[in-house]
């Protein structure tokens, strides 16, 4: 479904992403992992076009998207979350979720701020995630984990075919983390393709069908969780050669 070819993003002399290539199979949960500074989030930003890549190509369902604007990419079926919730603090959870609905351009000027269809759809998603009780809470009153769930609901308002989740477990307590894992699994069972960046290796090993490993801006390994776990290049990237020195 998603193919990244020779993706590069340079900031001056820094090659944050350097000739990065990988693909995401339709219907899979694919993890993009790597040590801090590996270029994972920058790659996410280039794929979703919140950052313009220096070079390379990104293809979604056979259509090149790296030259499109973010809203066009969303309309084609790719949506993402961010490490830090970007909710609007002076709006309710329901309003935040609806704010990320698909838009029809100037036609929306003649519609209510929140249509009955949008409210019903948003409430259905909040119910799916088990957070209808906070639908009318201000975004500023939410816990970190609740913000993550709200972001996930907002993501689904655009009817995506593939979702990019940037550290959905970051800062979330263990019990809520298991809820989030369950939601991701259910969405995947319903046919949604998932690409996830996460530092929680236990979660990644349990959840992912396939893992892509980045280091210094490029892909160093790609395979099943059991293959990646035993890959010497991956161990070296994470541990900085400690295992080799100990041997």
Sorted by where each starts, the structural domains of the chain and their CATH numbers stand as 2-86+160-246 (3.40.50.300)
Give pLDDT, residue 107. 60
CA dihedral over 35, 37, 41, 44, signed as positive or negative:
negative
Indicate the SS3 state at residue 168. coil
Give pLDDT, residue 243. 36
199-213 as b/e: b if 16+ CB within 10 A: ebeebbeebbebbbb
Report CA Rg, the chain: 19
Give pLDDT, residue 89. 76
DSSP 88-128: -TTSBHHHHHHTTS---GGGGGGS-SS-HHHHHHHHHHHHH
pTM for this prediction: 0.88
Question: 17 has which bridge partners?
Answer: 9
Q: In tens digits, what is the pLDDT along the chain, a chain of 247 residues?
A: 999 999 999 998 899 999 999 999 999 999 999 988 899 999 999 999 999 999 999 999 999 999 999 989 999 999 999 888 877 778 899 999 998 776 665 566 556 677 888 899 999 999 999 999 999 999 888 888 889 999 999 999 999 999 999 998 877 888 888 999 999 999 999 999 999 998 888 889 999 999 999 999 999 999 999 999 888 888 888 765 433 443 3
Q: What are phi and psi of 212, to 5 degrees?
A: -110, 130
Give pLDDT, residue 229. 86
């Amino acid at each position: 479904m998603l193919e990244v070819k020779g993706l590069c993003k340079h900031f001056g002399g820094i090659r944050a992403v350097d000739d990065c290539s990988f693909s995401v199979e339709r219907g899979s949960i694919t993890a993009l992992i790597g040590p801090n500074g590996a270029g994972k989030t920058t790659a996410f930003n280039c794929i979703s076009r919140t950052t313009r890549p220096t070079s390379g190509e990104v293809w979604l369902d056979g259509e090149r998207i790296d030259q499109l604007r973010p809203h066009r990419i969303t309309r084609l079926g790719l949506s993402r979350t961010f490490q830090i919730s970007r909710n609007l603090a002076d709006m309710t959870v329901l309003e935040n979720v609806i704010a990320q609905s698909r838009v029809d351009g100037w036609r929306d000027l003649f519609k209510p701020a929140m249509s009955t269809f949008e409210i019903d759809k948003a409430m259905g998603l909040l119910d799916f995630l088990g957070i209808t009780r906070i639908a009318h809470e201000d975004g500023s009153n939410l816990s970190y984990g609740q913000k993550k769930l709200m972001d996930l609901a907002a993501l689904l308002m655009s009817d995506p075919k593939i979702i990019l989740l940037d550290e959905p477990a970051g800062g979330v307590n263990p019990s809520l983390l298991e809820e989030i894992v369950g939601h991701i699994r259910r969405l995947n069972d319903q046919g949604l393709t998932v690409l996830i960046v996460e530092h929680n290796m236990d979660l990644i090993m349990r959840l992912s069908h396939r893992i892509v490993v980045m280091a210094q801006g490029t892909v160093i390994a790609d395979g099943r969780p059991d293959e990646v776990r035993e890959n010497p290049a991956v161990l070296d990237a994470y541990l900085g050669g400690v295992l080799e020195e100990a041997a």
